[in-house]
Structures are given as C-alpha cells and as structure tokens.
Amino acid sequence: MRVAVEGLRVLGAVTLGAVTAPAELAFVLLTLPFAGNPNVAAAARRLALLEARRLRLDRAALGPGGRALLYLAARGPVGVLGGLVVALLVYGSVVVVMVVAAWGTGRPFDGMYPSVPLVAYAVVAGIVLLFLDLSGLVGVHALERRLALRMLGPDRTLALERRIAELAESRAGIVAAVDSERRRIERDLHDGLQQRLVALSMLVGRSRRGRPELLEQAHQEAQQALAELREVAWRVYPSGLDSLGLGEALAGVAERSAVPVRVWCDLPRRPPTQVETAAYFVVCEAVTNAAKHAAATLITVEVHEEDGAVVVRVRDDGAGGASARGGGLSGLARRVAALDGGFELSSPAGGPTTIVAVLPCG
C-alpha cells in the first residue's frame, strides 16, 4: 500500500512538472532581457521554491537562490521529458483498455482475434513496456530532484564553512555541558552526601561516648549515604547501561523516580554506545525536571528506531512552561547536537511538556 501511494505521488509530481515546464520556459524567455532586475530574480526564486515544494525538498537545503532563473531554464527539457513519459503511460493504458474491451466481447482488435500465443505476447510486451515506463517516471523524478539540489543548493564552500561553524559551536557546547555537569555533581556531593557523612561521623562519635542507642540512627544514616552515593554514580554514568542495555537502564530510571513513569522501548538492534548514553541522559533529565518542577503525575517515555535514528520522546502531564534555555535542557540540546541529532521542546503553559530527541545511528 505504501509503495502504491508513493508511486502515485511520484506520478503526480512528474505530471505537474510537465505542466509547469512550458510556462516556466516562457517566463524565462520573456524575462531574460531583464535578468538583472531584482523583481525578476524574486519571481524566479518564488517559482523555484514552488518546484522545490513539488519535489518535496527541504527549504533548509536550498541556497540563497541566485541561480533560480538558470534553474528554471535547465529544468524545462526535463519537464518535457517527464511529460512524454506520462503521455506514453496514458497511451499504453488506453490501448490496454481497448484491447481488453474488444477481445472480451469477441470482437477483433486491429484485425486480430485473441489466441494463446497472441495473448501471451501482448501480456509480456505490456509488462515490459509498463516496467520501462515506470522506471522512466522514477528516473525523471530523481533527475529533477538532483538538478534542483545542484542548482538551488548552497555553494559548497559556504556549506563547508557553515558545517565548520556548527562543529565548533557544538564542541564548545559539549565543553560547557560537561563543566555544568561537573558543577552539579560537586553540589550533590557537597550539599547531600558530604553533609550526611558528617552527621554519620558525629553520631558514631557520640555513640562511642556512652550513647549506644545512637548506633541504629547511625546505621540508617549510613544506608542513606550509600543510596545517595549510588544515585550520584548513576548520574555520572549508569553502569547497567553497558551490561543490560538501554531498555533495562530506563526501567531503572522509572523505578527510582518519585513520579510514575511508563517506559516503552522498542529497538530492533542495539544502537551505538554514544547514542545509548545520550538517549539515557535525555530521559533522566526530562524525568528529573518533570518530578521537581512540573508537578507531574505521570511521565511517558517512548524510544524507537525510525529511518536509521533512535527517537526518544518524553511526555509529562505537568504544568508546562519549561524553557529550552534552562541549564539542564540546554545541556541536553548540546549533547544531542554533538551527535548531529535534533532536539525539540514543546511546553505550553498548563502543559503538557514533550521532549523529542532524534539521535542518528550512522
């Protein structure tokens, strides 16, 4: 079903391209003497963007459009070729309908009556011609996309410079995120575990001076200190992630959460280590924020693979209003960007809050 829908979409795109090609060629011929006029350039840019939409090209992949008029002239012959392919497909379909209608009612077609050899020849020839025509449709569509990307895409030097800038920014973001995480670990150790160990030391000292009833309280403090130390260690890096995998590690996050968490993890294969780690920390930070700041009563975590990437979606029913500029979420965005991934946050006032991270596995 999906193949059929995609085939109809390609057929529609090629057919529409065949219709617009003559009009765009006429536009090019009429405006060629005024090619330097800004209004002509703007009109050519708009027409080129319409063609990009027809071909389902991302506008972000297109350049400033200085060669839009040249592109419209270059795609004219390709559009005419697409029209010929579509016309051949329509003609073949009409012939098939006429043959079936004639032979089905016992009448001759072009002076020929149906026989086993003739029907076999017609079927084989029809299948071969249909295959060639459909291949032509796909080829024309691919040629149009490549032509548009080649002539409307950004200059390679500019693309490389932009990529270098993105890498430099992501590297600086990772350094900042690591420093921020170190500061948070230091605060956890200083404000939590260190204070508890000081209290434990005082309790043990008092019990040694004739207060044995304090040993039970000291034992409880020691258990709390161990629990906090284990929590800090998991926040640094979850040891179970290497041995148990992402699904089990996220189940551990759900067990330790003060808010109910439902986890659905469906990965046909184990993703790379850096992808697993990033996905884990996205879920951890999202769950922590929802529990501390959003007054959520339920958090839903979905992890699945889509188009060669791991998609992590965390949704809570809290009060909303989360900001991507916050320390934790901005660190997550930088961590995801370092893997060439995408990070989206939707948190309107009143909720719900949804965090989506797309982590490429390539």
| pLDDT, averaged in runs of 10, over the chain (362 residues) | 84 92 91 85 89 82 73 91 93 91 86 86 90 93 91 74 71 61 65 66 66 66 68 62 82 85 90 86 86 85 90 89 73 80 87 90 76
- For residue 305, the SS3 value is strand
Q: What is the pLDDT of residue 307?
A: 83
User: Looking at residue 184, what is its pLDDT?
Assistant: 67
Check if the beta carbon of residue 338 is closer than 8 Å to that of residue 174: yes
CA neighbor of 275 nearest in space, from 214, 211, 206, 358: 358
| Residue-level pLDDT at 214 | 64
Name the residue among 89, 12, 1, 82 with its Cα closest to residue 53.
12
Contacts of 200 (CB under 8 A, 6+ apart): 218, 221, 222, 225
Q: How many other β-carbons are positioned within 10 Å of the β-carbon of residue 249?
A: 24
**What is the chain's Cα-based Rg?**
32
pLDDT at 133: 92
- Nearest C-alpha neighbor of 326 from the set 289, 282, 280: 289
Q: What secondary structure does DSSP assign to 20-65, as a single string? A: HHHHHHHHHHHHGGGTT-HHHHHHHHHHHHHHHHHTT--GGGS---
Give the span between the Cα atoms of 271 and 250, in whole angstroms. Answer: 14
Q: How high is the pLDDT of residue 245?
A: 84
Q: What is the pLDDT of residue 218?
A: 67
Residue 238, C-beta contacts closer than 8 angstroms, at least 6 positions apart: 249, 252, 280
Of 227, 252, 228, 232, which is closest to residue 241 (Cα–Cα)? 252
Per DSSP, the three-state class of 314 is: strand
Predicted TM-score (pTM) of this structure:
0.50
Longest dimension (CA), the chain: 120
Alpha-carbon separation of residue 281 from 181, 241, 244, 250, 276 (angstroms): 11, 11, 16, 10, 9
Residue pair 56/140 in contact (Cβ under 8 Å)? The answer is no
238: exposed, middle or buried (C-beta count within 10 Å: 0-12, 13-18, 19+)?
buried
Q: What is the pLDDT of residue 150?
A: 85
**Do 302 and 247 meet the contact criterion of CB atoms below 8 Å apart?**
no
What residues have CB less than 8 Å from 102, skipping those under 6 apart? 108, 109
Return the pLDDT at 60. Answer: 59
Site of tokens 């995801």 = 336
Residue type at 89 in one-letter notation: L
pLDDT recorded at residue 91:
92
Q: What is the pLDDT of residue 35?
A: 80
